[in-house]
Chain A
Amino acid sequence: GQQVMQIPQYQHVQEGEDFTTYCNSSTTLSNIQWYKQRPGGHPVFLIQLVKSGEVKKQKRLTFQFGEAKKNSSLHITATQTTDVGTYFCAGPPTGNQFYFGTGTSLTVIP
């Protein structure tokens, strides 16, 4: 089945530093989605990428979809304490199942 791997698993940064999480798939993806889950909260849909090489920005967040559509990244510029949480990527359904990545837990040190 589809494997979606995320690295790193944990990341601690000083406030103001940049942060990047990577998502890698063993198969070509038709699209990829990103979600954020705050501690004690629920996942929140951030964005969906569809096109090869696509880059989308949401304020300080930059999302990229690789040319081969097998990997994706989320980059946060100048992190703030409000960025704390776990960031998940998710591939399109395999059959009817959605596979979420293992997540990257971001801690921002003030």
Chain B
Amino acid sequence: QVQLQESGPGLVKPSQTLSLTCTVSGGSISSDDYYWSWIRQPPGKGLEWIGYIYYSGSTYYNPSLESRVTISVGTSKNQFSLRLSSVTAADTAVYFCARRKGYSSSWFDPWGQGTLVTISS
């Protein structure tokens, strides 16, 4: 079955850019039936949708984060990536990648295990 795995630095300095990669296994990221998503969860708080990308490169972002977010896809490596610029302590969170069903349905499944990113000098 499809599995997702996040990777990237666990510590980022304020004002710098957070960069994470999600590797998809057990299925192709080039499927036309899914979007590939990033969702985050600050410690002790709820989930926040960041954005998703279609294999063609079309992107969709949370309006509250859009000015700082870039999601890209690397179909040859079956990966997609997140970049979040000008980070502050408020961006400290567990970052999850997930597959999102598209067209006539809507759900996130499966999810990666998540990776904690701490913003601190």
Co-complex (A, B)? no
